[in-house]
Amino acid sequence: MTQNILNAETGEYKTKGSGVSFELKRGEASWAYFPLAYNILLTIVVGIISFAGNLYKISALIIVSLGLFYLCFFGPSFRNKIVGLFSKSKEFVEKS
């Protein structure tokens, strides 16, 4: 059984039996969005948590910051949404 491989700029696509799998390697431009999104989300969450009681603030900040870090840097579907959001905002045309 042979395995067909197609290399493209965005990644490597492999056909296996009846399905297709692919590996995606992000470029520098899309990787620049993730720290920005992480900082924006963390700032919003810290502002919201600042209204909570003192006992819960530290633990909530640690849990939320770790969760956001995972989503922004290791969550594939969340990262796709971040890239899509920033790509759409770049294409937005303001009309007056």
- Exposed, middle or buried, 75 (CB in 10 Å: 0-12/13-18/19+)? middle
- Cβ atoms of residues 46 and 61 within 8 Å: yes
Selected residue with higher pLDDT from 2 and 23: 23
The 10s digit of each residue's pLDDT in 12-54 is 555 566 666 766 667 777 778 888 899 999 999 888 888 777 7
Please, which pLDDT band fits residue 1 given cuts at 50, 70 and 90? very low
In this predicted structure, the answer to whether residue 67 has a pLDDT above a threshold of 90 is yes
In this predicted structure, the answer to whether residue 2 has a pLDDT above a threshold of 60 is no
CA separation for the pair 65, 36 (Å, rounded) = 14
Q: Model pTM?
A: 0.56
Ranges of each domain in the chain: 27-91
